[in-house]
Amino acid sequence: MLVSAKEMLDKAKAGHYAVGQFNINNLEWTKAVLKTAQELNSPVILGVSEGAGKYMCGFKTVADMVKAMIESLNITVPVALHLDHGTYDGAKACIEAGFSSIMFDGSHYSIDENIEKTRELVATSHAKGISIEAEVGSIGGEEDGVVGMGEVADPDECKMIADLGVDMLAAGIGNIHGKYPENWPGLRFDALDAIQQKTGAMPLVLHGGTGIPADMIKKAISLGVSKINVNTECQLSFAAATRKYIEEGKDLQGKGFDPRKLLAPGFDAICATIKEKMELFGSVDKA
Ligand SMILES: [Zn+2]
Candidates 3.40.50.300, 3.40.50.280, 3.20.20.70, 3.40.120.10; correct CATH number of 6-236+267-281? 3.20.20.70
What pLDDT is recorded for position 283?
98
pLDDT value of position 139: 81
Residue 74 alpha carbon to ligand 1 centre in Å: 29
The pLDDT of residue 149 is: 54
pLDDT tens digit sequence for 96-111: 999 999 999 998 899 9
Q: Does residue 191 surpass a pLDDT of 80? A: yes
Q: What is the pLDDT of residues 167-186, one digit of tens each?
A: 999 999 989 888 887 888 88
Q: What is the pLDDT at residue 274?
A: 98
Residues 69-80: what's their mean pLDDT?
98
CA 98 – ligand 1 centroid, Å: 21
When pLDDT is cut at 50, 70 and 90, the band that residue 146 belongs to is low
Alpha-carbon distances, residue 266 vs 32, 42, 114 (angstroms):
10, 22, 39
pLDDT in tens, 111-122: 999 999 999 999
Measure 257 CA to ligand 1 centroid, in angstroms.
35
Span 65-94, mean pLDDT? 98
Instruction: State the Cα–Cα distance between residues 206 and 184, nearest whole angstrom.
Output: 16
The number of helix segments (H) and strand segments (E) in the chain equals 12, 10
- Listed by start position, the domains of the chain span 6-236+267-281
Contact between 242 and 262 under an 8 Å Cβ cutoff? The reply is yes
Identify residues whose C-beta is under 5 A from ligand 1, the ion.
207
84 is catalytic: yes
Run of H or E including 227: strand 225-230
The predicted-structure confidence for 243-267, as pLDDT tens digits, reads as follows 999 999 999 999 999 999 999 999 9
C-alpha 121 – ligand 1 centre gap (Å): 19
User: Over the stretch 203-227, which tens digit does the pLDDT of each residue have?
Assistant: 999 998 888 999 999 999 999 999 9
User: What mean pLDDT, rounded, does the chain reach?
Assistant: 95
Q: Is the pTM of this model over 0.85?
A: yes
